[in-house]
C-alpha cells in the first residue's frame, strides 16, 4: 500500500481558485497512490492579517492567545479544501491538530512536536478518504492549542509522514524545486534532481528559502524522503534524501546567498578570558541568533570580535553589545548592514581538497574582497560587500560549472 503526505503552502492555497486547483492535484494523486494525506497552510496572507489584528490590540499579546488566534488560519483552508474535494466526488475529511493528536510541548508560538497519535488518520484513510490535516498546529497533553512557529506546516507534514511511515513527503511550492543558485540572481541556475539532507540543511541555513531547517532535520532523523515540487505543474522537482541514496554525487551542489544578515564588530576588546562568553551569553539571553563568529589572533593586548546576526535583530544587538563593550572596556561597536553572505555547499567537498582555495581565488580575480570566512565540512561561507553579492554568486556558479 502506498502512502504519501502532500504539503501545500500558503501560496498554493492563496484563493478559492487555487484551492480548487489543489483539489484537482490531490484527486490526480489519489488515482496512483492508495492513501493520500494532505497538510495545508493558511490561505495566502491570512496569518499576517491575524498578526496585524493582534498587534492593534497589544504589543505583547499572551502567546497562548496568539496560538488560539493563529491556529484558525489552517482550519479555514483545510475545511475549504475538504469541500473542494467533496465537490470533485472525492471523499475527504479535515482534521485539527487536536483531532490528529499532534501532541506538542507547551512552548506556545514555537512548540515542538513530542508525539503524533494518528490512529484516527489511519482509520479515515482505510475508508478511502483523503485526510486533510491542519499544518502548523498541535495540542498539549492538557488540551491547549499550540503552533509550531515559522515553517511549521512543513514540520507537520514531515513529522506526519514519519509517524505514518509514508513513502515520502511531497512539499508543493511556487518554485520547481531546489536550484543550484537563486534563479533570480543566476539565470542559468539548474534545478537539482537530488540533494542530501545535510546539504539541504546547509542551504537552508545559508539563505535558500525553499525548505525550513526543522522539517529537513525531521526528514533526516526519521529517514523520510522529501520531494520539493511545483504546485502548478506535474513535473518532478527535487528529492531530498539520505546521502547514501544519492545516485550522482556532485562535488558542489549549490551557491547560496543571504542578504538579510549584518556584520557586527566589537573593536578593541581587552584580550583576557571570558569576554566572548559574556558577549554571546548576553546575546543568547536577548534571543539573538548569532551566525558566523570570528576573533582575530591578538598581536597587542586588544583584539576585535566580529559576528553576523539577522539584520532584524540589529537594534537589539546595538544595545546588548554596546552595554558589554562598555562594561569590559572595549573601544566600541561597529554595525554594518551592507554585507552579503555567499556560501558554497557540497557533500563532495569533504573528499576534494582545494575547493576553498578555488573559491577565494575566484572572488579575488573579480576584485571581490572577503571580510569573513566560516566553514563546515560541506560548506564554505564568505561575507562580502552587499554590492558585490550577486556578482559573487554568478562568478562562483560559473567557476564550478553548476549549470551543467
Q: Which residues bind a copy of itself (CB under 8 A)?
A: 16, 19-20, 50, 53-54, 56-58, 61-62, 64-66, 68-69, 71-72, 75-76, 78-80, 82-84, 86-87, 93-94, 96, 98-99, 143-145
User: What is the maximum span of the chain, computed from C-alpha positions, in angstroms?
Assistant: 77
Query: How many whole angstroms separate alpha carbon 345 and alpha carbon 258?
Result: 13
What's the min distance (Å) between Cβ of 69 and a copy of itself? 4
25: CB partners within 8 A, 6+ apart: 6, 172, 231
Q: Which is nearer to a copy of itself, 56 or 351 (CB)?
A: 56
Q: Which is nearer to a copy of itself, 60 or 296 (CB)?
A: 60
Query: How many whole angstroms separate alpha carbon 287 and alpha carbon 282?
Result: 9
What's the min distance (Å) between Cβ of 60 and a copy of itself? 8
What's the min distance (Å) between Cβ of 20 and a copy of itself? 7
Which strands form 254-258's sheet, in the order they lie side by side?
Answer: 254-258, 339-345, 379-385, 372-376
Which run of H or of E encompasses 201?
helix 197-205
CB 208 within 8 A of CB 256: yes
CB 255 within 8 A of CB 396: yes
What's the min distance (Å) between Cβ of 13 and a copy of itself? 11
What's the min distance (Å) between Cβ of 348 and a copy of itself? 48
What's the min distance (Å) between Cβ of 202 and a copy of itself? 38
Q: Which is nearer to a copy of itself, 50 or 290 (CB)?
A: 50
Q: Which is nearer to a copy of itself, 13 or 378 (CB)?
A: 13
Alpha carbon distances (Å) from 311 to 50, 65, 278, 317, 389: 24, 28, 21, 9, 16
Q: Which is nearer to a copy of itself, 98 or 375 (CB)?
A: 98
Q: Which is nearer to a copy of itself, 95 or 317 (CB)?
A: 95
Amino acid at each position: 500500500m502506498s502512502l504519501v503526505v502532500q504539503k501545500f503552502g500558503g501560496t498554493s492555497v492563496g484563493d478559492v481558485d487555487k484551492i480548487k486547483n489543489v483539489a484537482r492535484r490531490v484527486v490526480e494523486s489519489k488515482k496512483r497512490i492508495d492513501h493520500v494525506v494532505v497538510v495545508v497552510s493558511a490561505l495566502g496572507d491570512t496569518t499576517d492579517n491575524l498578526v496585524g489584528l493582534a498587534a492593534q490590540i497589544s504589543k505583547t499579546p499572551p502567546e497562548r492567545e496568539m496560538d488560539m488566534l493563529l491556529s484558525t488560519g489552517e482550519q479555514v483552508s483545510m475545511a475549504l479544501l475538504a469541500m473542494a474535494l467533496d465537490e470533485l466526488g472525492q471523499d475527504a475529511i479535515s482534521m485539527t491538530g487536536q483531532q490528529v493528536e499532534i501532541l506538542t510541548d507547551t512552548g506556545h508560538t514555537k512548540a515542538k512536536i513530542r508525539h503524533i497519535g494518528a490512529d484516527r488518520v489511519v482509520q479515515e484513510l482505510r475508508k478511502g478518504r483523503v485526510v486533510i490535516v491542519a499544518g502548523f498546529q498541535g495540542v498539549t497533553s492538557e488540551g491547549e492549542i499550540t503552533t509550531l512557529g515559522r515553517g511549521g506546516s512543513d514540520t507537520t507534514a514531515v513529522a506526519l509522514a514519519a509517524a505514518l511511515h509514508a513513502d515520502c513527503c511531497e512539499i508543493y511550492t511556487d518554485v520547481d524545486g531546489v536550484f543550484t543558485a537563486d534563479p533570480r540572481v543566476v539565470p542559468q541556475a539548474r534545478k537539482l534532481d537530488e540533494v542530501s539532507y545535510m546539504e539541504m540543511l546547509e542551504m537552508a541555513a545559508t539563505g535558500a528559502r525553499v525548505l525550513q531547517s526543522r522539517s529537513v532535520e525531521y526528514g533526516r532523523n526519521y529517514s523520510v524522503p522529501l520531494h520539493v515540487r511545483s504546485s502548478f505543474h506535474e513535473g518532478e522537482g527535487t528529492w531530498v534524501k539520505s546521502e547514501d541514496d544519492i545516485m550522482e554525487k556532485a562535488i558542489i551542489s549549490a551557491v547560496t546567498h543571504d542578504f538579510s544578515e549584518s556584520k557586527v564588530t566589537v573593536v578593541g576588546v581587552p584580550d583576557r578570558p571570558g569576554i566572548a562568553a559574556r558577549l554571546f551569553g548576553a546575546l543568547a539571553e536577548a534571543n539573538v541568533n548569532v551566525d558566523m563568529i570570528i576573533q582575530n589572533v591578538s598581536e597587542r593586548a586588544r583584539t576585535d570580535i566580529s559576528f553576523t546576526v539577522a539584520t532584524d535583530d540589529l537594534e537589539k544587538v546595538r544595545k546588548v553589545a554596546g552595554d558589554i563593550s562598555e562594561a569590559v572596556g572595549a573601544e566600541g561597536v561597529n554595525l554594518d548592514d551592507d554585507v552579503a553572505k555567499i556560501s558554497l555547499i557540497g557533500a563532495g567537498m569533504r573528499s576534494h581538497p582545494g575547493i576553498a582555495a578555488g573559491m577565494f581565488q575566484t572572488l579575488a580575480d573579480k576584485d571581490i574582497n572577503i571580510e569573513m570566512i566560516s566553514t563546515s565540512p560541506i560548506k564554505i561561507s564568505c561575507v562580502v560587500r552587499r554590492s558585490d553579492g550577486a556578482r559573487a554568486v554568478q562568478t562562483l556558479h560559473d567557476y564550478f560549472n553548476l549549470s551543467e
